Amino acid sequence: MSGSIVVLTGAGISKESGLSTFRDADGIWATVKIEDVATPQAFVRDEARVHGFYNARRRALLDPAVQPNDAHVALAILESNWQGGEVTIVTQNVDDLHERAGSQNIRHIHGELLKARCMACGILPELRGDLSPTSKCPACDGRGSLRPHIVWFGEMPLYMEEVHDKIAACSLFVSIGTSGNVHPAAGFVEIARAAGARTVELNLEPSAGASAFAEKRYGKATELVPVFVAELLGVA
């Protein structure tokens, strides 16, 4: 097989690194409501609570125990060894585990936990500490103008036009560790199918969009992804 590859990842690929998913029984949305912490309205209503939610997730991500797992590493190996064309990771995840595993061609369509966004001047400063309603922008000195660089429900995900074009041109679309509940990501497989791409779902269990995939393998990402990458690279 040759041609470009687009890999969509979700929270499931980071689960075995120790980060929570959203919709599993022990997921984030089992303990806190989306409308309380992950919408623009929540941020207007109770900014300190929203900062607190993301500050806690940022601290959890920065725990030294949280490291990229074999699935993240396998995708970095695919990117650096695939001769058939470009490999792009389109991730719904806001963690930096793909980067830390060595992947470089990544689009974080739901934002990044380790960046802030200034609502006054628009810069995206690196962020490894806590944000608060009085945090100052390092560029424009705007006080209280920083928000998490996270795409909230009701906001437009990032890189949508570029991602659409990459999926419409790819030969292989692989979805890993996502429940297929959130659009537009949940609809990416339809774009790939319409383009005649090979479509593969690698997940712990069938996602909401499972029927749209031509191939499906179920199990843990750290078991499925290295095997799948080895097959693609002809080293299985």
| Site of interaction with ligand APR (CB under 6 A) | 10-12, 15-16, 21-24, 27, 92, 110, 177-179, 181-182, 203-205, 207, 220-221
Catalytic residue list contains 110: yes
Contacts of 133 (CB under 8 A, 6+ apart): 47, 48, 51, 144
Gap between the Cα atoms of 75 and 98, Å rounded: 8
Instruction: Give min distance, CB of 141 to ligand APR, in A.
Output: 31
SS3 for 32?
coil
Q: Which of 51, 98, 108, 110 is catalytic?
A: 110
DSSP string, 78-90: HHHH--SS-EEEE
- Least distance (Å) between residue 147 CB and ligand APR: 15
Q: Which residue is nearest to ligand APR (CB)?
A: 12
Name 229's Cβ contacts closer than 8 Å, sequence gap at least 6: 74, 75, 77, 78
Min dist. Cβ of residue 190 to ligand APR (A): 16
Least distance from ligand APR to the Cβ atom of residue 165, Å: 21
Residue length of the chain: 236
Positions marked catalytic? 110
